[in-house]
Structure 1
Amino acid sequence: MTAKIIVGWREWLSLPELGINKIKAKIDTGARTSCIHALNIEEYERDGEKWVKFIAQPLQDDEHTKIQCDVKVKKMKYVTSSSGQRELRYFIETMLHAGDKSWPIEVTLTSRASMKFRMLLGRTAMENRIVVDPALSHLL
């Protein structure tokens, strides 16, 4: 059995396949799905498959750092936010780098402009890999 990564309630992560080298994430065991802040989401077709392009702004309070992302859509599904709002979201799959470990995770795309964190890491992405110590931060 592989040792689990210990993380705090917030961590710096990266999503290298999207070109996001650094994004501050809230580690949220209460959320099933993970999500990232995405703007100007546009769906298009490539080789008969559904793709999206969007702008990621991975750094809070930094409107100048913008990363153009293009990725295949895994599925679309309704997600209920913590405020009870249902929203149809794009699900994508991408590699997560947490410390010296990497694995593929599902991420939804949504506006998190009003939120403190540009990414939420949900429990599905953490399953069998991460243990959270809520008293700590930035262990990775």
Structure 2
Amino acid sequence: MKKVIGRREKINLPDWDLWGISGKVDTGAYTSSIHSEYAEMIKKGDKSYLRFTVLDRRHPKYTGNVIETDDFTVKSVKNSFGEAQNRYQIATTIELFGEKFDAEFTLSDRSRMRNQILLGRKTLKGRFVVDVDLTDQSKKMAKLAGSRKHGKGTDLPDTI
């Protein structure tokens, strides 16, 4: 069963110790992206690594932690204006609705956007159905699960 996801959701990124980051659900975008102000490729011996940070420095959950990975690619992505850009693409674990799964993100400048994370179709496919009238369903479902343990009920949809 697919879960109902809203147009905006709180996303956890446990590999990076980031919790409750607001992300925009965008069925028009194929690839997910996350804001990064710093990304550079470095060499260690004959191996290439990518060093980067995520989130805007002004974001309340910005840590400034530099993340390093050798699991990255460079991908050509069309931006919202239809222009092709080369971006680094990385993989990490995300958590939504209490479930963890792997997702790929391109690193991009989202400083002018309201949300630091954009969830595209590739991440959503096979897992979620989007209801644009809703927001923060993952957070609400977590509260619901706690309420059910204490005998309280609610009429929130969780799957279709």
Pick the TM interval, shorter chain. 0.7 to 0.9
Tell me whether 1:82 sits opposite 2:80 in the alignment.
Answer: yes
Change in CA separation of 1:64 and 1:106 when aligned onto 2, cut-off 3 Å: closer
Q: Which residue of 2 aligns with 1:54?
A: 52
As a proportion of its length, which structure holds more strand? 1
String of CA shifts for 1:13-58, please: whole Å, max 9, x gaps: 0111123223110001110000000111111134643321122226
1:94 aligns with one of 68, 85, 92: 92
As a proportion of its length, which structure holds more helix? 2
Aligned-pair Cα RMSD in Å: 2.0
1:64, 1:137 → 2: CA distance?
A: 20
1:80, 1:23 → 2: CA distance?
A: 24
Residue identity (%): 29
Matches within 5 A, 1:57-72: 57=55, 62=59, 65-68=62-65, 69-72=67-70
Change in CA separation of 1:39 and 1:96 when aligned onto 2, cut-off 3 Å: same
The one-letter code matched in structure 2 to 1:72 is: D
Following superposition, the deviation at residue 64 of structure 1 comes to: 7.6
* 3-state secondary structure, aligned to 2:38: strand
Change in CA separation of 1:64 and 1:102 when aligned onto 2, cut-off 3 Å: closer
Runs of at least 5 residues in structure 2 that lack an aligned partner in the other structure: 139-160
The answer to whether the 8 A contact 1:23-1:58 is kept is no
The answer to whether the 8 A contact 2:34-2:106 is kept is yes
The answer to whether the 8 A contact 1:58-1:66 is kept is no
Q: Which residue of 2 aligns with 1:39?
A: 37
The one-letter code matched in structure 2 to 1:125 is: T
Question: Radius of gyration: which is bigger?
Answer: 2
String of CA shifts for 1:65-91, please: whole Å, max 9, x gaps: 333222234311110011122210111
What is the TM-score when the length of structure 1 is the normalising length? 0.87
2:23, 2:102 → 1: CA distance?
A: 16
The one-letter code matched in structure 1 to 2:63 is: K
2:37, 2:88 → 1: CA distance?
A: 12
Change in CA separation of 1:56 and 1:104 when aligned onto 2, cut-off 3 Å: same
Runs of at least 5 residues in structure 1 that lack an aligned partner in the other structure: none
